[in-house]
């Protein structure tokens, strides 16, 4: 009876364990160490070792190992730039009134961030936009869309669709005015489909940037508006991006794309690394990774190159316009690899 009871409680190797075995073999974990974990989970030593041997002999695993070798080579190539970035100071340059050719040759083509100054002075929005203007009778009753309930969801950006809510623009303006510092609600680019039409007259106050951007009325940019304290966590975009700061200041932290292997990219274009307090015990590969920082002032443009990880925090009530309609190639999303869960 004791032997029978032992057989009944013995764990078996299912497909989830087989995936785990394969993953750890690919990571270079020694078979005895893998077997020890399986045995500790209640699987017999004989079955554990048999499963590991089957995996080692599998032609599927041999094919996967070839692919891993190619990926390791790519990581090595990326690590070259990563090591070079650790030599000397890393700063985000501020350049006054860059010409289009200077911007293209020195930053766009080289995938380097830069802050451009003196190029937004002709925007009527720079002098007209404030909370009183937004809250005026002309706009108060327009129904807009905003993200709400962000404080209750650690993955509020990944789950942004679930946080959408509609309300009159004037009511939202009052909330921003009276909230103090808050990350619980924010009007972002994810709300653009409704808001572009709802407050379309605001775009009449936005000038053009012919040195860098196509003058396409349908693609003037995305409207970000919220209180001090709004936070967009570390992520990367799938296009090059301009952040044109109209009101308030924003702190931005950036990590170069070559650090991909160190930033713990867990889903889509996001990482769980918290830019405010990088936990090196949980994320040891982040040790030594250069994190660039700047404060974007009203009237300045930050060029965010495609693939650069960035964290954005509003230091004041802020309005930012994001633009992607550059004169030059900016389709980097067509070949973006989809997430798979095999």
The reported pLDDT for the residue numbered 3 is: 45
pLDDT score recorded for residue 217 = 60
DSSP 161: G
* b/e 269-303 (16+ beta carbons within 10 angstroms → b): bbbbbebeeeeeeebeebeebebbebebebbbbbb
Read off φ and ψ for residue 339, nearest 5 degrees.
-75, 135
- The CB density around residue 322, as the number of other CB atoms within 10 Å, is 19
Query: What percent helix, strand, coil does the chain show, rounded to 5?
Result: 40, 20, 40
Q: What is the pLDDT of residue 65?
A: 87
Q: Give the per-residue pLDDT at 218.
A: 57
Question: Could you give the CA distance from residue 32 to residue 93 in angstroms, rounded to a whole number?
Answer: 52
Is there a contact between 120 and 301 (Cβ–Cβ < 8 Å)? yes
CA dist 54 → 25, 43, 47, 59 (Å): 12, 16, 10, 10
pTM: 0.83
Q: Could you tell me where the DSSP H helices lie in 41-168?
A: 45-57, 59-85, 100-103, 125-128, 131-134, 137-140
Distance CA 108, CA 105 (A): 6
**Which pLDDT score, from 0 to 100, does residue 224 have?**
95
Nearest-angstrom CA–CA distance, 58 and 53: 9
**pLDDT tens, N- to C-terminus, the chain (342 residues):** 444 444 445 678 888 899 899 988 988 899 999 999 999 999 999 999 999 999 999 998 889 889 888 988 988 999 999 999 988 778 899 999 999 999 999 999 999 999 999 999 999 999 999 999 999 889 999 999 999 999 999 889 888 889 999 999 999 999 999 999 999 999 998 878 788 889 999 999 999 999 999 987 656 689 999 999 999 999 999 999 999 999 999 999 999 999 998 999 988 899 999 999 999 999 999 999 999 999 999 999 999 999 999 999 999 999 999 999 999 999 999 988 876 554
pLDDT value of residue 13: 83
Q: Is 243 left (phi over 0), alpha (psi -120 to 50) or beta?
A: beta
Neighbour tally for 327: CB within 10 Å:
14
- CA atoms of 213 and 29, how far apart (whole Å): 50
Dump strand ranges (E) for the chain. 93-96, 114-117, 143-148, 164-168, 185-186, 222-226, 231-236, 241-247, 250-255, 265-267, 270-271, 292-296, 301-304, 309-314, 318-323
Query: Which residues have CB under 8 Å from 254's CB, separation 6+?
Result: 92, 113, 291, 292, 293, 304, 308, 309, 310, 311
């Amino acid at each position: 009876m004791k032997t029978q009871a032992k057989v009944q409680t013995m764990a078996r190797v299912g497909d989830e364990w087989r995936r785990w075995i394969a993953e750890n073999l690919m990571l270079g974990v020694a078979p005895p160490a893998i077997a020890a974990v399986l045995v500790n989970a209640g699987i017999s030593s004989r079955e554990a070792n048999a499963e590991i041997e089957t995996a080692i002999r599998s032609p599927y695993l041999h094919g996967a190992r070839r692919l891993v070798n190619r990926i390791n080579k790519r990581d090595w190539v990326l690590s070259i730039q990563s090591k070079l970035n650790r030599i000397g100071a890393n700063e985000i340059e501020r350049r006054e009134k860059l010409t289009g050719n200077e911007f293209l040759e020195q930053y766009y083509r080289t995938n380097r961030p830069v802050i451009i100054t003196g190029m937004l002075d002709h925007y009527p929005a720079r002098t007209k936009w404030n909370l009183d203007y937004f809250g005026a009778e002309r706009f108060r009753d327009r129904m807009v869309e905003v993200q709400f309930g962000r404080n209750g969801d650690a993955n509020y950006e990944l789950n942004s669709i679930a946080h959408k809510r509609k309300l009159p623009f004037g009511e939202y303006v009052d909330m921003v005015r009276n909230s103090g510092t808050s990350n619980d609600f924010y009007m972002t680019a994810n709300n653009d489909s409704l808001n572009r039409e709802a407050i379309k007259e605001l775009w009449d106050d936005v000038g053009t940037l012919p040195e860098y951007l196509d003058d396409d009325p349908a693609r003037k940019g995305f409207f970000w508006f919220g209180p001090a304290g709004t936070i967009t966590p570390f992520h990367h975009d799938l296009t090059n991006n301009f952040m044109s700061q109209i009101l308030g200041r924003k702190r931005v932290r950036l990590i170069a794309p070559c650090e991909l292997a160190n930033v713990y990219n867990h889903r889509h274009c996001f990482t769980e690394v918290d830019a405010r307090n990088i936990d090196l015990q949980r994320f040891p590969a982040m040790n030594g990774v250069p994190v660039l920082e700047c404060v974007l002032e009203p009237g300045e443009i930050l060029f965010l190159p495609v693939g650069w990880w960035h964290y954005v925090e509003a230091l004041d009530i802020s309005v930012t316009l994001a633009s992607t309609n550059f004169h030059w190639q900016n389709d980097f999303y067509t070949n973006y690899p989809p997430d798979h869960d095999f």
